[in-house]
Amino acid sequence: MTDRLEQAITRLQRLAEKAESDGTGMDIPDIMQAIVGPDYDDELEKLVSMAMESSEKAMDLEDMARGVMALFDWRNKNA
């Protein structure tokens, strides 16, 4: 596992713990911020949202981090 992925998972874990203690869910913008930081746009947020909504199974934090990072990297590579 790369340092980048480990750091993203750690930030997601903190977000999940806060959401659980607050009795709320994790919003897509918060998930995006935790994984890739502030350097994302509305289009990427929509892609991530559609991917998560279309997933037939629940995702764990590592799956979320890997998926968002893959979309982020793909977008940057093909921009």
Amino acid at 75: R
- CA–CA gap between residue 56 and residue 4 (Å, rounded): 26
What pLDDT does residue 66 have? 96
pLDDT band at 1 (very low <50, low <70, confident <90, very high): confident
Please determine, for residue 56, whether its predicted confidence score (pLDDT) is greater than 90. no
What pLDDT does residue 48 have? 93
Please give the biggest Cα pair distance in the chain.
Answer: 39
pLDDT band at 55 (very low <50, low <70, confident <90, very high): confident
- Segment 58-70 mean pLDDT: 94
What pLDDT does residue 40 have? 87
